[in-house]
């Protein structure tokens, strides 16, 4: 698995969003000792927005 900072991932996603026909891009980074932590980075080209969508039920984490 490739190591990358969240800031670097954000820069990549901004570049991808600018180039994408939809004007948006996203990627999820996994971390933590057991790779259970997730951070999703979303980028939008200026003037693009995320429309309303269904929000799946939150998953509960057990420690």
Q: Is residue 53 part of a domain?
A: no
Q: Is residue 59 part of a domain?
A: no
Q: Is residue 60 part of a domain?
A: no
Closest CA to 1 of 25, 35, 26, 27: 35
pLDDT digits (tens, 9 = 90+) for 3-26: 888 899 999 999 999 999 999 999
The pLDDT value given to residue 23 = 94
Q: Is residue 52 part of a domain?
A: no
- For residue 22, give its domain range: 6-44
Count of structural domains, the chain: 1
Please, what is the average pLDDT of the chain?
A: 83
**Whole-number Å distance between alpha carbons of 3 and 53:** 31
């Amino acid at each position: 698995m490739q190591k990358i900072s969240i800031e670097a991932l954000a820069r990549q996603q901004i570049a991808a969003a600018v180039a994408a026909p939809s004007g948006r891009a996203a990627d999820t980074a996994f971390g933590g000792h057991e790779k259970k932590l997730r951070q999703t980075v979303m980028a939008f080209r200026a003037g693009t927005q995320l429309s309303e969508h269904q929000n799946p039920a939150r998953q509960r984490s057990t420690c």
